[in-house]
């Protein structure tokens, strides 16, 4: 089954690397322009569940890698005769200096909170996303906290350790 899917993908999209590491995974590396079309193709094939949208910071190569993990809900058609579900992982790379990307909300509506989280924690701007406001964090950070050049110990020393305890402040006056 996977072989037929792999063959279909290779015939539809030339010049992509498709890679089968284990029995129930399929990894596809595409350029960022073809992400939307490959996700639409996979959704029509029955992989309707977008499990996760995630991001990796490759700081030496100066790129961000956006990762989409898809899987199928039920397998009751003729093509899907095996019992286990497979996970399809779609990866793209975007440059780190001007991180902008397109949102996949028109295809998978549930990617809105994932993209909001990535915007808040990595700093990538998704065009077409209706609500890119902070989700978890309350303070402002100069560098988005999940990037690898954010020094958390330095941040804690600057912000949290400089707040005085109450007895000290009282004796200042």
Partner 1 sequence: MDRNKLVKWLKEPAKMGHKYSLHAVYFCTGCGIIEVPPSITARWDAERFGVIPVATPRQANLFLITGYVSVKTLKAIIRTYEQMPEPKFTVGFGSCPINGGMYWDSYNTIKHLDKYIPVDGWIAGCMPRPEAIFVAVTHLWTLIDKEMANGYKKYRAKYRYYRANQEKVLGTLEWPPLFSIEGKDEELVKETA
Q: Applying CB under 8 A, does 74 fall inside the site for partner 1?
A: no
Q: Applying CB under 8 A, does 153 fall inside the site for partner 1?
A: yes
Site for partner 1 (CB under 8 A): which residue of 13, 41, 80, 155? 155
- Would you say the C-alpha torsion 39, 44, 47, 52 has a positive or negative sign? positive
Q: How many helices (H) and strands (E) does the chain have?
A: 5, 7
Least Å distance, CB 47 to partner 1, is 34
Q: According to CB under 8 A, which residues from 101 to 140 bind partner 1? A: 136-139
Site for partner 1 (CB under 8 A): which residue of 22, 44, 60, 161? 161
Q: Applying CB under 8 A, does 142 fall inside the site for partner 1?
A: no
Q: Applying CB under 8 A, does 173 fall inside the site for partner 1?
A: yes
Quote the CA–CA distance of 25 and 21 in Å, as a whole number.
Answer: 7
Torsion of CA 53, 118, 104, 15, to 10 degrees: -70
Site for partner 1 (CB under 8 A): which residue of 41, 72, 129, 145? 145
Q: Which stretch binds partner 1 (CB under 8 A): 46-54, 98-106, 122-130, 145-153?
A: 145-153
Quote the CA–CA distance of 144 and 146 in Å, as a whole number.
Answer: 6
Q: Which is nearer to partner 1, 23 or 154 (CB)?
A: 154
- 96 touches 64 (CB < 8 A): yes
- 105 touches 120 (CB < 8 A): no
Least Å distance, CB 11 to partner 1, is 47
DSSP 3-state assignment of 158?
helix
Q: Which is nearer to partner 1, 33 or 161 (CB)?
A: 161
Quote the CA–CA distance of 40 and 30 in Å, as a whole number.
Answer: 14
Residues that bind partner 1 (CB under 8 A): 136-139, 141, 145, 150, 152-153, 155-156, 159-161, 163-166, 169-170, 173
């Amino acid at each position: 089954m996977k072989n037929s899917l792999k063959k279909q993908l290779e015939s539809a999209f030339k010049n992509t690397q498709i890679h089968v590491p284990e029995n129930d995974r399929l990894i596809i590396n595409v350029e960022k322009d073809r992400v939307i079309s490959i996700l639409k193709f996979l959704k029509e094939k029955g992989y309707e569940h977008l499990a996760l949208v995630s991001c990796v910071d490759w700081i030496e190569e100066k790129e961000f890698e956006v990762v989409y993990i898809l899987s199928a809900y039920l397998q009751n058609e003729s093509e899907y005769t095996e019992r286990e579900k497979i996970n399809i992982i779609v990866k793209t790379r975007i440059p780190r200096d001007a991180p902008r990307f397109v949102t996949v909300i028109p295809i998978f509506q549930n990617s809105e909170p994932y993209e909001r989280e990535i915007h808040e924690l990595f700093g990538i701007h998704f065009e077409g996303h209706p609500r890119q406001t902070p989700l978890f964090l309350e303070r402002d950070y100069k560098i988005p906290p999940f990037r690898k050049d954010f020094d958390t110990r330095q941040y804690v020393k600057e912000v949290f350790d400089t707040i005085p305890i109450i007895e000290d402040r009282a004796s200042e006056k």
